[in-house]
Amino acid sequence: MPRCDDDIGGYYKDIMYLLEFPKTASMTRVFTAKDEAAIRALPAWDLSRYHQPRTTTIVAAADLAFDTTAFDTFVNTTLVKRVKTALAPEGPFHAALAHIAFDSVGDAQSFGAAHRPPGTFGTLYVALPRHVRGGEVEFSRGYDHNKWLQPRRADAPQHSYAACYRNSHVTAAAITEGDRVLLVYNLVYTDSSAHTRDYPASIDEAATHLRKLGAKDHGIFEVLQGCPVQQGTSFETLSGLPKDLLTALLRSRVYDVALATLVPDNDASVDKLRSRLLDLGVLANILLQHIELHPATGAPSVLQDALCGVVLPEYTSSISDEFSQELGATHALIFWPKQRRLEVAGLHGTMLCLERALTNDGTTHKELLGYEVPSLVGHASDLMQGMDDDTFHADLYQRLQAIVNPSATAFFNRFAAVLTTLGNIDLILEFVANCLNMDHVSTTLPDVAKWLHGLCATHGWELLFQSLVRLVDRWSQHQATMAPILHFIASLAGVDGATPVCPALHQPFAIELIKGLYRAARLALDPHYHNTRLVVQHEVLGLCLVLDAYVAANGVSSHWLHGRLPPLALAAIDAALDPAKSMALRLLDAAETDGAALLTTAAPALAYSMRHQRRLRVPSLAIAIAAKLHDPSTTVDMLMTDEWSYSDAVVIVQSILTIARSDGTLTPPLLERCRTVFGACTVPAIRAILTQDDVDEATRALLFQSVLRPIPRNDTNDAKHLNDYYRDHPHPSVAPSHDNAREVDAGWRLAVDTLELIAELDASQMLPYVRSWNAQVLSQKPWMYGGFVADCLLRNTFWTDEAWLLVANLCLKNLTPHFAGRRLRDLRKGKAHVDCDCELATQLNTFLASKHALVEVLRAPAPMCTAVQAFVDGPPKTSLELTWHNDDDDDAAEPVTITIERPHDDFSDDEP
């Protein structure tokens, strides 16, 4: 099998071909004319006493009423030579008659010998000439098939024979007419101690190639291989291809082998993560669960836990992936080179080895996968290093493994504990500098930050400075860790808001650490932050504004050379080391080429920084943002880059209001300008501001007055912005109206937001508001009375009586003409019922029992009770449609919104 040394997958396919298509596994022949003549010269047998209609009679050789010696001699002198040529057994052998089967039904049991003497490696079958229809026999091994006793033309029947190795699969079709007489011989080695091979020679050939392949370098995704198991739940009960593969692997003596139970394809607990991997073009349907290591390989027991929950990307096969992905497999035979045990153990297995080694429980060198502790530490560090696509896939794999195997988690905390126990500062510095990342399941920023803070507190920040700088440089170049590393720096400085990720660092000249880390962050950030998502940009730039202010406030007086050099020299040193421009200046520069950037980027960033540090002021930026807002050319449309890319107007308005409130510039003209530019987006923005505890009464009254004036929906192009904002901020009584939850009924949600806010602040203003709302909005679009106003009336309790009656009468007045002369139908179909008394089941049953209810929105807890879960997961319900509205793949434990609806025709199409 000539292959390039790096074509490991090709080598495995070649080896699997030897096992999947073993050409010497079986043979079938018919007697030659010379054979038929020789048989006619032998004594005849009286078989009549053994024939029974529609039954199968098996007579052992010792119980036969006639002598078969002459026929046996013919078999051994003539047929055995041909079997030797076809099957190529390991050594000399002979055929020993086991039984004769008289079969008139096509019983496969007639092919199995009841007794096999030592040294038996196969079976020889001789069929006597009989008139028979049906009864076709097939020998199969792997994907190689050999048929025997197939229907023949109307010639005279003749003798035929077939032979196969042990453990070949034999099937027989039913006999529809006539019968079959079959002589079954055991093929037995003459010297059973010297010759033992009871399988095709291709398996030994495969073992030879495996022995060579096991010594070659494997890629990370090539180490673990596997074969589906359709039959057999233990090594002893394996058959077919998995058994032959097991034999080859054991004979190679360089592979570990295990039998794995698979997680079912329909397992709901892992379905979302599997789907995410599939979206990325990665298969994750072969998920290993329980692992049984083969005792003959001597594999360390740690691998049993390490492999639980691991994904096998695909099966090893020489044929197409479609054909090899056999459906319904519940087990898989998995294998890997012994010298690659560390790689197959993965991060969890490596951690297990380290933890065992440090407990001094007598763990052997073999149980440590053959490695010393320093090598294991180095390997774990390498596995925790990442931040590329492969690492992202690995993180999803780790999340899958953690679901199946709850012990395979908390990798950072476990490794930090190992490093702390070892106490080797050089290992710690190397890990921090080059390997520490957050790309692993259960790794949180506070855990990392507090550990790093503890290291600084224990060893002094000076010792860790260079490693921390390299950490900052690495994290600042990737979207996922840009903001986290700035949070860490800000927390060390004590300026990370009300929820820092670690305590502030109080050590001599700690400001020098803060300045050094921030300089490294800015140097790495500046070329990359503008390519991140806007929400990440806002957080990153906001933290930079905070740190800029901190560094500026702690000038030369905190310098470690203070008192030893003139202040002017210290300022010059800092100026040479610091970024050329503060982040505020960079934002102002960006606005010169893209004026909208002041609103889309600078305003949310400045607002973020002010929420972190309420006393923070950046006058130049605030003035430029206000000027852009009042520029006559500024409209909501300028926020849209293209059809699919636009900034969130609600976030921008909220940011402008936050800045103005902090600077004391929140005035009625500014609010009116926001209404003019951003339209209805000001309502959810104002509501978000009013939820904050520190809003004074004067500001509250000013904002409330702005809400009390309805905003006609056709004044601005705000629908996309409202849809996006409300999609990301769901309301328990307002479900998304679009099936894939990409849109919501912005008008309905806006009405609910406004009315709820009025009810919370001053319910007496609700009646005047709904009068204005009707005059300025609803009366201009009568369809809205039925589109969502009626739903607002029926589903919410915030109404005052007077406002509710006013809107209800308006709805009746506008909707009654549409139903004139029509009747409501009873929409109940069947007797659907959820057998439970929990709150969700009660709501479902109330809806199901109603005659005319069309739709209901329910907030389902997580987890739901088993009765409700069985109802929603049950067979298709032709009278109901269930729509799920949360698509959060990261947290399956979050409650979800369910819309339950009865399919119906519009009332205008109902029969009177």
- 650 secondary structure, DSSP code: H
Low-confidence ranges of the chain (pLDDT < 50): 322-324, 387, 389, 642-644, 715, 738-743, 887-892, 906-912
In Å, the largest CA–CA distance within the chain is 124
Q: Which amino acid is it at 815?
A: L
Nearest to 335 by CA among 286, 365, 297: 297
Judge residue 607's burial from the number of C-beta atoms within 10 Å of its C-beta, 0-12 exposed, 13-18 middle, 19 or more buried: buried
Q: By the 8 A CB rule, do 67 and 42 touch?
A: no
Q: Give me Rg for the CA atoms of the chain.
A: 39
**Residues in contact with 79: Cβ distance below 8 Å, sequence separation at least 6, in sequence order:** 95, 124, 126, 161
Strand, helix or coil for residue 694: coil
At 705 the pLDDT is 93
- What 8-state DSSP symbol labels residue 602? I
d(CA 547, CA 582): 10
Cis amide bond preceding 863, omega within 30: yes
How much is the pLDDT for 890?
A: 46
Rounded Cα distance between 724 and 20, Å, is 54
Of 351, 354, 347, 345, the closest CA to residue 307 belongs to 345
Tokens 């206000």 sit on residue: 626
Beta-strand (E) ranges in 366-425?
A: none
Q: Is 129 helix (H, G, I), strand (E, B) or coil?
A: coil
d(CA 756, CA 270): 39
pLDDT for res 871: 80
In the chain, what are the domain boundaries? 23-197, 200-406, 614-742, 762-820, 839-909
Q: Is the dihedral of CA 612, 614, 615, 620 positive or negative?
A: positive
CA 891 – CA 894 distance, rounded (Å): 6
Give the separation between CA 713 and CA 218, rounded to whole angstroms: 62
CATH number corresponding to 23-197: 2.60.120
> For position 389, what pLDDT does the model report?
47
Q: Evaluate whether 795 touches 731 at the Cβ level (below 8 Å).
A: no
CB atoms within 10 A of CB 131: 10
Q: Which residues pair with 336 in a beta bridge?
A: 256
